[in-house]
Amino acid sequence: MNFESRVLPELKSALAQFPGFQLEANLEGSRSMLSGPPIEASEHVSTTSRMIRGGAGEMLVKIYEPANRTDAKLPAMLWTHGGGYVLGHPDMDDVLCERFVQAAHCVVVSVDYRRAPEHPYPAAIEDCYAGLVWMTDEAESLGIDVDRVAIAGASGGGGLTAALALMARDKGGPALIFQMPLYPMIDNRNTTASSYEITADNATWNRTNNVEAWQMYLGAGVEDHELSPYAVPSKADSLAGLPPTYTCVGQLDLFRDETIEYVTRLAQAGVDVEFQLYPGCFHCFEVFVPEAEVSQRASQNYVDAMARALNP
């Protein structure tokens, strides 16, 4: 059975309309595919934008918080958008960040990290770490409870989340109580069965996309043995000491096998981990077809997981 024949019927319409990303041939065109029309902001969430010090110079962050909040300190979550390290912008996740705020009654800080190939590794992870440090350093002005801080992201943002958890562990802070790297991009080797399985041109992320994006992110001439786990989280020698984790992936996602391996290693390292595998679902299915029943179930599952973690 080929890729398309295995996709759930309720998700197939998106594939028929999706032209596929062309990263090397048309990077700017691929980037524009992720910038949809402006959304109507929720009246229950207040959103502000600020410039802070990133890994090298100024960086935009978007801050989402309950519109009717009191003086009580709230839990906080750092969000890293997806896009294979080369695409995406915080604006595309406004609706999701608002959902997190309302479900978990928390503050969400979304970072506009630098993207490859203009800014290869370590630019993105340095920006994410700078955003996490800023968020916790500004806990008083942001009204944040530093004892309830989590990190989350999807796809390339999920890879940055996994890398950020390792970095925070190794640097001795900021302290995290939870991480949520959703269908994360964490292995540059492209040797898993699922990385060979997902090759269709209209797949929302295929083998060609993944090979090109990793090359853009890591730069030319880098030997595999030289790569840091902060660049490629699957290379981490140990996952012990990481925070409790939630993740999910579609069975027809190129990242299926590296996600399953990551979940297995977390469990073996004594890290509490919750994992969902969705049959018939491709990469970012809940983003591409948000009205589908499986999409609503999947996104509600991870929003609820974050709400539980931040409000123990």
Looking at the structure of the chain, the number of domains it has is: 1
For the entire predicted model, the pTM comes to: 0.97
Dist. CA 214–CA 201, nearest whole Å: 18
Distance CA 23, CA 32 (A): 12
DSSP H helical segments within 105-254, as ranges?
123-137, 139-142, 156-171, 193-197, 207-218
Could you list the pLDDT tens digit for every one of the 312 residues in the chain?
688 899 999 999 888 889 999 999 999 999 999 876 777 889 999 999 999 999 999 999 999 999 999 999 999 999 999 999 999 999 999 999 999 999 999 999 999 999 999 999 999 999 999 999 999 999 999 999 999 999 999 999 999 999 999 999 999 989 999 999 999 999 999 999 999 999 999 999 999 999 999 999 999 777 777 899 999 999 999 999 999 999 999 999 999 999 999 999 999 999 999 999 999 999 999 999 999 999 999 999 999 999 999 999
Domain that holds residue 261: 3-310
What residues are annotated to the active site?
Answer: 155, 253, 283
CATH number, residue 22: 3.40.50.1820
Round the CA-based radius of gyration of the chain to a whole number and report it.
Answer: 18
